[in-house]
Amino acid sequence: MKTVLFVSPGYPSEMPHFVRGLGEVGARVLGVGDGPERGLPERVQGSLAGYLRVPSLWDEAGVVEAVREWPAAARGVDRVECLWEPGMLLAARLREALGAPGLSVERTIPFRDKERMKRALDAAGIRTPRHLAARGQAAIWEAAERIGFPLIVKPIAGAGSADTHRVEDREELASAAAAVRHLEEVSVEEFVDGEEYTFDTVSIGGVPAYYNVAWYRPRPLVARTNEWISPQVVALRHPDQRALAGGVRMGYAVLEALGFESGFTHMEWYLKSDGEVVFGEIGGRPPGAHQVDQMNYACDIDVFRGWAAAVVAGRFEEPVRRRFNVVNVYKRAEGEGRIARIDGLDEFRRRHGGAIVWDNLLPVGAARRNWKQTLVSDGFLVLRHPDLATALAMADEFGSEVRLYAA
């Protein structure tokens, strides 16, 4: 039986499913986290052979020391897994300390540092946006001078489009530069105009055993700066179509260039109107916002368990038959406070009930979430249909006809 040390089994919200998957493929799972064991979801508690609570996951040396002294881990650890981005370096340090296979610290750094990532990809001949790292105001202006407008200013280790600014001219550069003053270092990048897609994989030995391409409608930066938009993420039924081939090929090349091993990856890439593909970024983890569930709905499989078998046994055994385009549509309520009313949902259900596979909208009475901080916003609907145009039309109708009001 293989022993898997799993960092942060309770958070984020998808982690319990991965832990459950490990249990289902017969692994002995040891959890490490900084919360109380009682606070873990029941599903996790039932799948763990042991749990070590550490004072803080951010004290990496302290965690390594505590795990070394933990009797449950003394028999040896075959894998160290972490699917939460901030914990990736800790997982790499634990691997090195315990002699477990998988990404080392050195190999993990490009997944956490966007400049290091782009430099590694540039060296491999993969097209990234022209970019420069800049520390301080003068350096930002100098980098902008060399990159040219329009451009993007963003953090070196960003998430959720936070602190990401599109800059058209000198005036906007002045305000963007001021807005990122609190960051030690930023990336200044050529602005790439185009559509934005993902390439998500469960890889074994650096090669995708399963993959998924999703289309962001609209582009995340636009979705995250306009509250009225109901952003969509569309898992495409035909990721092998010719129009996407450049991005898929690029994804394979990125995995090779970074020496990825086994596990989940989430890549983002741009497709320009002239057909050129440009790489965006890679995470050594699954996408968030219930996009793994979306993959499950596309093929009626269990990608959580599929991932587990891939890392434990080196096999991906879920039967991938792509039957649907699946759209997650995230909703933002109008007004502040608590959800007071939902308009148009009954009518939408009458028309498209058969296409709704998951209704996760906040109920009346629930407090609004901060839409800037969570893509899930005030909840979402998951819709699916074999035909892409039909799926998109339904998602657009839901976006415009169903409205949540808060008061």
Ligand X SMILES: Nc1ncnc2c1ncn2[C@@H]1O[C@H](COP(=O)(O)OP(=O)(O)OP(=O)(O)O)[C@@H](O)[C@H]1O
Chain residues binding ligand X by CB under 6 A are 129, 152, 154, 158-162, 164, 189-192, 196, 219-221, 268, 280-281
Of residues 23 and 110, the one with the C-beta less far from ligand X: 110
State the binding partner of 159 from Mg ion, ligand X, none, CB within 5 to 8 A by kind.
ligand X
Query: Which x/- pattern, by CB under 5 A, does the window 314-333 give for Mg ion?
Result: --------------------
Of residues 81 and 268, the one with the C-beta less far from Mg ion: 268
Pairwise CA distance, residues 285 & 111, whole Å: 9
Of residues 187 and 203, the one with the C-beta less far from ligand X: 187
| Closest separation in Å from C-beta 155 to ligand X | 7
* Helix H or strand E encompassing 137: helix 137-147
- Phi/psi zone of residue 102: left (φ > 0), alpha (ψ -120 to 50 degrees), beta? left
How is 302-320 classified by DSSP, letter by letter?
-HHHHHHHHHHHS---S--
State the binding partner of 154 from ligand X, Mg ion, none, CB within 5 to 8 A by kind.
ligand X
The residue ranges of DSSP E strands in 118-194, in sequence order, are: 131-134, 151-155, 165-167, 186-190
State the binding partner of 160 from Mg ion, ligand X, none, CB within 5 to 8 A by kind.
ligand X
Taking Cα atoms as reference points, which of 296, 348, 299 lies closest to residue 320? 299
Work out the angle at residue 59's Cα, subtended by the Cα atoms of residues 57 and 61, and round it to the nearest 5 degrees: 115
**307 close to 197: Cβ distance less than 8 angstroms:** no
Scanning 180-274, the segments in alpha helix (DSSP H) are 220-223, 245-258
Among positions 33-52, residues that touch Mg ion (CB under 5 A) are none
| Closest separation in Å from C-beta 179 to ligand X | 14
Query: Which x/- pattern, by CB under 5 A, does the window 251-290 give for Mg ion?
Result: -----------------x----------------------
Residue with tokens 């550490």: 54
State the binding partner of 189 from Mg ion, ligand X, none, CB within 5 to 8 A by kind.
ligand X
State the binding partner of 122 from ligand X, Mg ion, none, CB within 5 to 8 A by kind.
none
| Closest separation in Å from C-beta 218 to ligand X | 9
Pairwise CA distance, residues 137 & 188, whole Å: 12
**37 close to 6: Cβ distance less than 8 angstroms:** no
How many CB atoms are closer than 10 A to CB 79? Answer: 22
State the binding partner of 50 from Mg ion, ligand X, none, CB within 5 to 8 A by kind.
none
Residue with tokens 């293989």: 2
State the binding partner of 66 from ligand X, Mg ion, none, CB within 5 to 8 A by kind.
none
| Closest separation in Å from C-beta 366 to ligand X | 24
Of residues 206 and 220, the one with the C-beta less far from Mg ion: 220
| Closest separation in Å from C-beta 200 to Mg ion | 12
Of residues 281 and 396, the one with the C-beta less far from ligand X: 281
CA 187 from chain centre, in angstroms, equals 20
State the binding partner of 198 from ligand X, Mg ion, none, CB within 5 to 8 A by kind.
none
Of residues 162 and 367, the one with the C-beta less far from ligand X: 162
| Closest separation in Å from C-beta 268 to Mg ion | 5
Pairwise CA distance, residues 208 & 139, whole Å: 39
Q: 231: burial class by Cβ within 10 Å (0-12, 13-18, 19+)?
A: buried
Of residues 189 and 268, the one with the C-beta less far from Mg ion: 268
Pairwise CA distance, residues 197 & 217, whole Å: 9
Of residues 79 and 217, the one with the C-beta less far from ligand X: 217
- Phi/psi zone of residue 99: left (φ > 0), alpha (ψ -120 to 50 degrees), beta? left
| Closest separation in Å from C-beta 377 to Mg ion | 17
Of residues 32 and 278, the one with the C-beta less far from Mg ion: 278
| Closest separation in Å from C-beta 405 to Mg ion | 30
State the binding partner of 130 from ligand X, Mg ion, none, CB within 5 to 8 A by kind.
none
Which positions lie near Mg ion, rule CB under 5 A? 268
